[in-house]
């Protein structure tokens, strides 16, 4: 065969081989890229959950509880080392969701879902104990917990020796307005603003949650040995003062006497004018004013030898207590003891005539 022909054939074969190799490479590269892309997508559900900025949780007792921002970083820490596994069956004890993703877990395994797929992960054994405590704390000290009127069975408030059950839980609920989460240090500062704070006991199916006002604009929520603190507006504090008939000014004043404090249980005072045969009932501010002006003058008991007219008969009534007091011109009689108060009848008269 002619050398030129042979050379041409060899050149042609080489060109064909190179072209074939190049074309084959072009065809196989997208497949490699596709494999890489698919692998990346397979790990996206956990990555997506770790990036979420707002998560709501539900368990057997409470539904749609917002995980407070302070707990989100801890939640990410506990689940980020979970290993992807094949499908596994487990009994859900907790579910959660955000705008883009859902998950459920028995706190050993976690199932993560979006609109297209579902993936399963094995939570690291080293993280399970911490995760369980975090979830318990997140649900039961979240501000949302005491905003769930449908789940709450009973709310009882107390202040010193005064107690009352809230009849309208929805109304109580509407008085709670959260501003932000706060530190324990700031909470202690708010608590010092008033002399006494309200205790709030909330009953939910299966367990109780305890809350406490921290001054006028703070609230602590407690469950087991967990605590969370929030800044709120003063609507709740004012509402609780009204419910328990407590003077807002008295609670913050340094001038309150021990005798005034003894009568904080009083809700109404029935006043009988013995001279004019007139009966009145004092409530709210008038009741508080009479206690402040009359009982604030009480000193030590005295012997009652002077002749004075019985001017008023007072009947103090509280939720589970009553007390009779006789007012003379310059004395009052309480539990068979007499106390000297100059112008006692005039003090009562001035308050009653403000009705």
Please write the tens of the pLDDT for every residue from 101-121.
999 999 999 999 998 899 999
How far CA 23 is from CA of 9, 13, 26, 28, 36, in Å, comes to 21, 15, 5, 9, 21
User: 129: domain range?
Assistant: 45-140
pLDDT recorded at residue 240: 93
Are 135 and 154 members of one domain?
no
CATH number at 273 reads 3.30.1490.410
pLDDT digits (tens, 9 = 90+) for 14-61: 555 555 555 555 454 443 444 434 444 455 799 999 999 999 999 988
In a domain, 291, yes or no: yes
Higher pLDDT, 126 or 16: 126
Q: Is the pLDDT of residue 6 over 70?
A: no
187 and 214 in contact (C-beta within 8 Å)? yes
Alpha carbon dihedral 296, 297, 298, 303, in 10-degree steps, equals -170
pLDDT digits (tens, 9 = 90+) for 297-341: 677 888 887 778 889 999 999 887 899 999 998 889 988 889 888
pLDDT recorded at residue 27: 52
Higher pLDDT, 192 or 326: 326
Rounded to whole angstroms, how far apart are CA atoms 134 and 78?
9
Instruction: Measure the N-to-C terminal CA separation of the chain; round to a whole number of Å.
Output: 133
Of all residues in the chain, what percent carry a pLDDT higher than 90?
45
pLDDT class for 165, splitting at 50, 70, 90? very high
Q: How many domains does one find in the chain?
A: 3
pLDDT recorded at residue 253: 39
pLDDT class for 67, splitting at 50, 70, 90? very high
pLDDT class for 1, splitting at 50, 70, 90? low
Higher pLDDT, 197 or 350: 197
Average pLDDT over residues 189-214: 87
Query: What own/partner pairs with CB < 8 Å and gap ≥ 24 does 258-261 have?
Result: 259/295, 259/296, 259/298, 260/291, 260/292, 260/295, 260/296, 261/160
Domain boundary among 91, 113, 140: 140
Q: Is the pLDDT of residue 353 over 80?
A: no
Average pLDDT over residues 73-98: 94
Domain boundary among 140, 166, 183: 140
Q: Is the pLDDT of residue 278 over 70?
A: yes
In a domain, 338, yes or no: yes
Are 232 and 172 members of one domain?
yes
Rounded to whole angstroms, how far apart are CA atoms 280 and 272?
7
Are 133 and 49 members of one domain?
yes
pLDDT digits (tens, 9 = 90+) for 222-245: 988 899 999 999 999 999 998 888
Q: What is the mean pLDDT of the chain?
A: 83
Are 154 and 119 members of one domain?
no
Q: Is the pLDDT of residue 192 over 90?
A: no
In a domain, 2, yes or no: no
pLDDT class for 9, splitting at 50, 70, 90? low
The DSSP-derived string for 105-151 is E-SSEEEEE-SS-EEEEE--HHHHHHHHHHHHHHHHSSGGGGG-TTT
Query: What is the Rg, in whole angstroms, of the alpha carbon atoms belonging to the chain?
Result: 37
In a domain, 101, yes or no: yes
How far CA 73 is from CA of 36, 80, 127, 198, in Å, comes to 30, 10, 14, 32
Rounded to whole angstroms, how far apart are CA atoms 165 and 179?
26
How far CA 48 is from CA of 51, 74, 103, in Å, comes to 5, 16, 11
């Amino acid at each position: 065969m002619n050398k030129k022909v042979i050379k041409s054939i060899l050149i042609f074969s080489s060109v064909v081989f190179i072209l074939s190799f190049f074309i084959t490479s072009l065809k196989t590269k997208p497949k490699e890229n596709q494999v890489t892309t698919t692998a990346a997508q397979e790990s996206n559900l956990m990555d997506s959950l770790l990036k979420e900025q707002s998560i709501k949780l539900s368990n057997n007792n409470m539904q749609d509880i917002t995980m407070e921002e302070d707990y989100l970083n801890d939640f990410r820490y506990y689940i980020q080392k979970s290993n992807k596994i094949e499908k596994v069956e487990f009994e859900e004890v907790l579910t959660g969701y955000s705008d883009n993703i859902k998950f459920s877990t028995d706190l050993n395994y976690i199932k993560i879902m979006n609109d297209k797929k579902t993936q399963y992960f094995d939570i690291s054994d080293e993280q399970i104990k911490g995760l369980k405590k975090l979830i318990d704390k997140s649900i039961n000290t979240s501000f949302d917990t005491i905003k769930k009127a449908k789940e709450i069975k009973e709310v009882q408030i107390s202040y010193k020796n005064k107690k009352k059950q809230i009849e309208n839980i929805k109304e109580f609920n509407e008085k709670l307005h959260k501003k932000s989460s706060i530190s324990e240090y700031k909470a202690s500062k708010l608590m010092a603003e008033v002399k006494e704070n309200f205790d709030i006991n909330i009953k939910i199916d299966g367990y109780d949650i305890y809350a406490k006002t921290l001054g006028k604009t703070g609230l602590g929520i407690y469950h087991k040995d967990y605590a969370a603190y929030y800044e709120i507006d003063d609507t709740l504090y004012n509402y609780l003062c009204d419910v328990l008939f407590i003077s807002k000014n008295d609670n913050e004043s340094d001038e309150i006497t021990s005798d005034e404090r003894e009568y904080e249980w009083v809700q109404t005072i029935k006043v009988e004018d013995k001279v004019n045969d007139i009966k009145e009932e004092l409530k709210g501010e008038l009741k508080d004013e009479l206690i402040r002006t009359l009982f604030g003058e009480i000193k030590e008991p005295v012997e009652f030898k002077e002749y004075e007219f019985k001017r008023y008969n007072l009947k103090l009534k509280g939720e589970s207590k009553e007390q009779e007091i006789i007012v003379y011109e310059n004395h009052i009689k309480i539990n068979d003891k007499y106390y000297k108060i100059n112008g006692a009848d005039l003090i009562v008269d001035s308050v009653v005539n403000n009705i």
